[in-house]
Structure 1
Amino acid sequence: MNPSSPALLRIDALRFAYPDQPALVSGWNASIGPGVTLLYGDTGTGKSALLNVIAGALPASAGRLTVAGTSLDAAPEAYRRQVFFVAPETDRFDQLSARECTASLAEGDAGFDQAKWQAIADGFSLAPHLDKKMFMLSTGSKRKVWMAAGLASGRPLVLLDEPTAGLDMPSTRCLWATLSEIAAQSKQAVVVASAARIDTVPLAATIELPLR
């Protein structure tokens, strides 16, 4: 991270463990600034769990998380409004159309960029699917709906879990191009959890799991 860039996500002495399991992280400190950060590790190293913890969806055993100056401990709802995250396995949007799902995800997001969303949706070839119920969509198309909403959001922190899973090549190219644009700005941090290295996007940092 550029020392002159403000930390959008601060992780202080974080510990997380599933019950009766060894800790995935313990005493983890990190300062994540604007741009794209890769959370890299093999399957089973805890990438998805840590995204859920950072999103405030799973409770940490210890430590503090702060996004854009808002602490999860002190103001949990305000914290969560600073973070965009959709767990890929969720079924809570199944009965909504893709368009309704997008509206739900963007609700209360004053920084949502409609033009940017439209450009990403076009790049993801989502137009034929926007009025279909989410349960009717393929795994890849569901991810496209969620990612288009997240990447167009004005939220300081966006968390993406294995974003290329189920994506066709044109959509993958659109994703890399959008992330490359984000990498060049100073207002938003995107953390991408992936079991593959990323060499098509300028990365601000790489965090490798398990932490050593």
Structure 2
Amino acid sequence: MNSELDEGCESLCMVQALQVSFGYPGRTVAHEASHCWHAGLCLLQGDEGTGKTSWLKALAGQLPLRMGLLHYPFADNGRLAASSCFWQDPRQPLNDVYSQMPAESWVALQRTLYPHWSQQQFEQHVQGFGLEPHLHKPLLALSSGTQRKLWMAAGWASAAELVLIDEPLAALDKPSESYVQHALAAMAAELKNPARPRSVIVAHWDAMQGVDWEDVMELATSP
């Protein structure tokens, strides 16, 4: 690991945005923005339309930058490898292959993609979310809330250096909302292990009860 300490913070800097600009035709999401996301739990906080999902896409390398640089100090040559990042866009429609794939087969695929995958943690999250009855179903047959639970369970079990989660409480029942908050709080200390630091970056509209964030980036509503 060659992660760097961020000045003014004891945690390792896992992702550094340097004067980045990105967006879509006719809409700028970020303009010359700089930020450091640390090892631990990090929050992208903002209302609907502030660009939370776009930031996650940019951090995952799925939204091109117009200018600036995203640097990943933990990675060889500072560039993000696919096996180092977990990102599943909950709003993106499933393609034909994935839509017919049983959830358990999708999970088996994730195990091959992430070398530090923890089956024990995955099974723990399956139990916490009550996912067991749904694992034999095609992904398309899962409700949006159940899909989100599956994405989160897999993301947290992936043990990737960078895990990106969009609106984790959306479409969830109350017990699952409580489990999300409990699971995030429980993983906080382990993420800052200097032997293998990791960052879980969550996009949400508020700070979520019971979660102690290592870093909060507040996104303003565009005028």
Could you tell me the TM-score, scaled by structure 1's length?
0.90
1:28, CA displacement in angstroms? 1.3
User: Where in structure 1 are there 5+ consecutive unaligned residues?
Assistant: none
Moved over 6 A (4+): none
Q: Which amino acid aligns with 2:154?
A: A
Does the CA-based 8 Å contact 1:34-1:183 persist in structure 2?
no
SS in structure 2 opposite 1:11?
A: strand
Contact 2:121 2:157 in 1 (8 A): yes
**1:6 and 2:12 correspond:** yes
Does the alignment pair 1:203 with 2:209?
no
CA contact (8 A) 1:35 1:190 kept: yes
* 2:68 counterpart of 1:63: yes
What does residue range 70-81 of structure 1 map to in structure 2 within 5 Å? 70=75, 75=79, 78-81=80-83
Q: Which residue of 1 aligns with 2:25?
A: 19
Query: CA, structure 1 residues 68+106, in 2 after alignment: closer, same or farther (shift >3 Å)?
Result: farther
Gaps of 5+ in 2: 1-5
1:111 to partner: Cα distance:
0.6
Using the TM superposition, name which of 54-63 and 103-112 deviates more: 103-112
Residue 144 (structure 2) pairs with residue 144 (structure 1): no
Q: Distance in 2 between matches of 1:35 and 1:146?
A: 19
**Hey, what does 1:89 align to over in structure 2?**
91
The reply on whether 1:190 has 2:200 as its aligned counterpart is yes
1:20 & 1:167 partners in 2: Cα distance? 33
Kept in 1, the 8 Å contact 2:181–2:208? The answer is no
Tell me, yes or no, if the aligned pair for 1:98 and 1:131 is still in contact at 8 Å: yes
Residue 33 of structure 1 deviates from its aligned partner by: 1.2
Structure 1 position 211, deviation (Å)? 8.2
SS at match of 2:42: strand
Conserved? CA contact 2:16–2:72, under 8 Å: yes
Residue identity in the other structure for 1:188 = R
Please state whether the residue corresponding to 1:119 is helix, strand or coil.
helix
Q: Which amino acid aligns with 2:103?
A: A
Identical columns (%): 31
Deviation by residue 1:93-144 (Cα, 9 ceiling, x = unmatched) = 2111111111223323111010000000110000000010011011000011
- Cα distance between partner residues in 2 of 1:168 and 1:152: 21
AA partner of residue 120 (structure 1): H
Q: Contact (CA 8 Å) 2:49, 2:221: kept in 1 or not? A: no
- Provide, for residues 44-85 of structure 1, a one-character-per-residue CA deviation record: whole Å limited to 9, x for no partner: 11111111111111111112112343379x75xx53321110
CA distance in 2, matches of 1:109, 1:166: 27
**Structure 1 residue 18: deviation in Å?**
0.9
**Contact 1:53-1:60 within 8 A present in 2 as well:** yes
